[in-house]
Amino acid sequence: MSPASPTSLYGVLGLPVAGNPTQEMIEAAFDAAGLDARYVSLEVQPEALADAMRGARALGFPGLHITVPHKVEVVPLLDRLTPAAQLSGAVNCIKREGEELVGDNTDGKGFVDSLRELRDPRDAVAVVIGAGGAARAIVAELALAGTARIVVANRTLGKATEVASQISAGTGVPVESAQLTEPWTVPGDADVVVNATTVGMSDPAGRIRLDWSQVGDGAIAADVVIAPSTAFLRDAEEHGHRAVDGLGMLVEQAVIGFRWWTGIEPDRAAMRAALEHELGLG
């Protein structure tokens, strides 16, 4: 009789991890695929990250997610990065390939896959509000997906300028920076406008005051904030634009990680249902 193979162990390292719904989404996908695998949410203090990564190597984790505040600090602890991770300078998903740990950034890809339900970003003019971790990953992936031009608008102009110059130099796509003041007039040629700030996260009524009057009908407003609706999306819809919520991005980035780790196409509907249940929406 051959010995049973051990259960594969995956997980997320972050601080805090309580309330992170990824465990429920990934375990729903393991169940749906009939895989003998578990996913654990692990709290890791910043000073313990290097030890935690050595432990994950020793324990043979086939895949890991990395979340706030470790996405940048984990980079030097890895053997290789994908182009998206190199461009964004941050990693949120790791795969073990042989003895190597390879880092990717799936936030931007998850965003682009979720956007593709309404339009392909190729040749689009995109406006990204924010210049933090999520914004950087989204700008990188929009550039890799062939957008014509990107404007990065941020309250702290220096951060927008840094993101714009790095991603423009890395991809050849024109990326400009803009000072976000309130109210801010959204450029009239925008096809896709992204709220990639934290505004709307803790206060559902929170909004950056935007003047949509220059933008033609039928643009797409996409929010990264993990909620089915936000003041940003409602305002955009009132101006005749279409909305993409942040739940889709979260599901899609989990789908991408699952597929990369296992080679199996996960059950997206089961993942979305698990996410909505965990967030008290379903």
Residue 94 and residue 103 in contact, taking contact as beta carbons nearer than 8 Å: yes
Measured from the CB atom, the residue of 102 and 255 that comes closer to ligand NAP is: 255
| Residue among 135 and 243 whose Cβ is closer to ligand NAP | 135
DSSP string for residues in 195-259? E-SSTTSS-TT----EE-TTSPTT-EEEE-SSSS--HHHHHHHHTT-EEE-HHHHHHHHHHHHHH
Q: Compute the distance between CA of residue 174 and CA of residue 165 in angstroms, rounded to an integer.
A: 9
- Shortest CB 7 distance to ligand NAP, Å: 27
Give strand pairing partners of 194: 128, 222
- Token couple for 150: 């990107």
Coil, helix or strand at residue 30: helix
Residue 215: burial class (beta carbons within 10 Å; 0-12, 13-18, 19+): buried
Residues forming contacts to ligand NAP in the complex (CB under 6 A) are: 107, 110, 130-135, 154-156, 159, 197-199, 201, 208, 224-226, 246, 249-250, 253
Nearest CB to ligand NAP, comparing residues 11 and 21:
21
CB of 27 to ligand NAP, least distance (A): 18
Residue 279 Ramachandran class (φ > 0 left, ψ -120 to 50 alpha, else beta):
alpha
Which positions are annotated as active-site residues? 71
Nearest approach in angstroms of CB 271 to ligand NAP is 12
- Quick one: 44 or 134, whose CB is closer to ligand NAP? 134
The residue nearest ligand NAP at its CB is 132
Least CB distance to ligand NAP at residue 35 (A): 23
Residue 158, CA distances (Å) to 132, 153, 166, 259 in order: 11, 10, 12, 36
d(CA 111, CA 139): 10
Between 230 and 262, CB nearer to ligand NAP? 230
- Work out how close the CB of 113 gets to ligand NAP at its nearest, in angstroms, rounded to a whole number: 11
